[in-house]
Structure 1
Amino acid sequence: MADSARSSSDTIIQLHGEEFWPLSGKPFFDIILAKSHVKPSYMLGIPAKLHSILPPCSIPTVLNFAGKSWEMTCGGKHRKHKLDKESWKAFVDDNKLKAGDGCVFEVMECSTTKLELRVQILRGDIPAELLEKERGDEAEKPIVL
């Protein structure tokens, strides 16, 4: 069962230890992580739709998730903005991300001196209770998530 809590400006829903909240209306991008985003490559670029709001230089960047922060740099040549590999790797490893997981990155602050992104993680796993369930006679009945 989901527990709800209200913060100063958002409704935060907790489900299976993960936090979810509605977007604030600020720019965002979402992505389903592919193998290149996680082991062994650890590469993540900011989609072109956000390039117009990002400065054309490298900037300190902070990813916020579950009350923790990861500092890194976002930058690159020819307006191809990428998160630095080592810091992105730390975020991936710390949060046990894998190919198939979804992430929503919401821009909370963007200036020439700082990019701050609030992250929501949507796990791509099929819940264990669904994997273990015998389908037999229930094969015609859908599973409602």
Structure 2
Amino acid sequence: MGLMTGGWRLPMAASPASAGLAWSLVEQRLLTWGVGEDARYDAHLVLAELVANAVSVTPADGRITVGCDREAGGIVIGVADPCPRLLRAPAPLVELRPEDLDLREENFDLNGGWGLGIVGALSAAWGADPLPDGRGKVVWARLRA
């Protein structure tokens, strides 16, 4: 897909706090490109999910790389991480009921898994490609803008 070899990219700490910094920097790029508010909102949600997924598979002292590129008719956002395992499309979203969740305190934050469904719903296309050096992957989303 070429996102990590062209366009704008920035290595960041593999920390949940990186999502906010990544968004601030990507949003400035999108504003420079004249991307509208609705598309920026979708990009924010997509980027947050991609960063969260990358951070979850990267050692605490590791790095992720956030990238953004402009294309005819849209933008591409991607996050590279060192985990070589490629992702598959998630199962279709279903309606959850509170009784479907494990709300015990020790498992409260483990009821996720909807991130790629959100990415798929907001994106024209998304995917995961191995990095050229074979040391990880980039998960990307193409959004209309």
TM-score, L = length of structure 1: 0.34
Normalized per residue, which structure has more helix?
2
TM-score, L = length of structure 2: 0.34
Normalized per residue, which structure has more strand?
1
Q: Which has the higher contact order (CA 8 A, sep 6+)?
A: 2
Structure number with greater Rg is 1
